[in-house]
Amino acid sequence: MQDGNADKKQRVDETTAMYTKEAIDDKFAKLVECMERDFMKKVERDFMKKEDVERDFTKKEDVERDFMKKVNVELDFMKKEDVERDFTKKEEVARDFMKKADVERDFMKKIDAERNFTKKEELGRDFMKKADVERDFMKKADVEGHFMKKIDVERNFTKKEDMERDFTEKVDVERGFAKTVDVKRGFGNGIQYGDRFIQIGNWRLADIDGGHFSIAAANTGKVAMIYRDDGTLHPGPRKDFVAWGRPVISCV
């Protein structure tokens, strides 16, 4: 019985010792230390979480930067493709322009060639006209030469007649004839005349109207040349400005 009471008393003493001021302060200090320890752990956990969040945010920012870089690279690539397309279009436009310019050059060359050909044709026509004019001039010269030859023949014939008349008169004087020698006048050898015209053989030279002088052939009835009073020449063949209707005047 005494041993049981002693145990109870010991337990009471121990319990009382547990609730003394020092014991309470010690427990309170331990409790505060434990609370501080838990708070610091919690703070550290929160800080670590924040660091993790910041790391994740930084990673996201890096990912976004990488994405934007890729997007910028793709945009640059697209721009380059657009630039290349524009350059290709410009090259095609330049090629089309050069083709059109070549076509225009070929067209202008053809036009120039046609102009040159036309000029050559015109020069050829002018040359042929000049050649025709020269032929007409030569014909006129031949006609005039022939006419001048006939005139020279007529002059020589007249001179011969005058010489014969002088010779006849001299012979009559020498023989002592007192009569006058009559010189017959009239038709010469192939020479005729009429109203403002002279006909030598086949050719009739006539003053048509005071402003025109013509040379015509009797066998064809055509005019070979017309001389106008302003100095111009009008070659034939033609059938106007003739004097065939004028009669030959009888010679006395």
Chain segment 181-234, per-residue pLDDT in tens: 343 444 456 788 999 999 999 999 999 999 999 999 999 999 999 999 999 999
From 144, 170, 202, the end of a domain falls on: 144
Could you tell me if residue 62 is inside a domain?
A: yes
Half-sphere exposure of 123 (CA within 13 A, CB side): 6
Alpha-carbon gap, residue 47 to 50, rounded angstroms: 5
Could you tell me if residue 201 is inside a domain?
A: yes
Looking at beta carbons, which pairs linking 146-155 to residues 24 or more positions away fall under 8 Å?
147/203, 147/205, 147/215, 150/200, 150/201, 150/203, 154/188, 154/191, 154/200
Same domain, yes or no: 10 and 114: yes
Same domain, yes or no: 122 and 231: no
Distances from the Cα of 34 to the Cαs of 18, 22, 30, 38, 41, in angstroms?
19, 18, 6, 6, 10
Q: What is the pLDDT of residue 218?
A: 92
* Domain interval for residue 11: 1-144
**pLDDT tens-place string over residues 117-172:** 888 888 888 888 887 887 887 777 776 766 677 677 677 767 767 776 766 665 45
Instruction: Identify the three-state secondary structure at position 228.
Output: strand
Mean pLDDT value across residues 77-95: 89
Alpha-carbon gap, residue 235 to 138, rounded angstroms: 11
From 89, 116, 144, the end of a domain falls on: 144
Q: What is the pLDDT of residue 180?
A: 39
User: What is the pLDDT of the chain when averaged over all its residues?
Assistant: 81
CA 172 to the chain's CA centroid: 94
Same domain, yes or no: 82 and 11: yes
Name the token pair of 218: 């009797």
Sequence-separated (6 or more) residues with CB below 8 Å from residue 42: none
Could you tell me if residue 158 is inside a domain?
A: no
At residue 17 the predicted structure's pLDDT band, cuts being 50, 70 and 90, is: low
Mean pLDDT value across residues 21-40: 83
Number of domains in the chain: 2
Q: What is the pLDDT of residue 175?
A: 54
At residue 12 the predicted structure's pLDDT band, cuts being 50, 70 and 90, is: low
Distances from the Cα of 97 to the Cαs of 82, 87, 104, 108, 123, in angstroms?
22, 15, 10, 16, 38
Could you tell me if residue 248 is inside a domain?
A: yes
From 95, 124, 144, the end of a domain falls on: 144
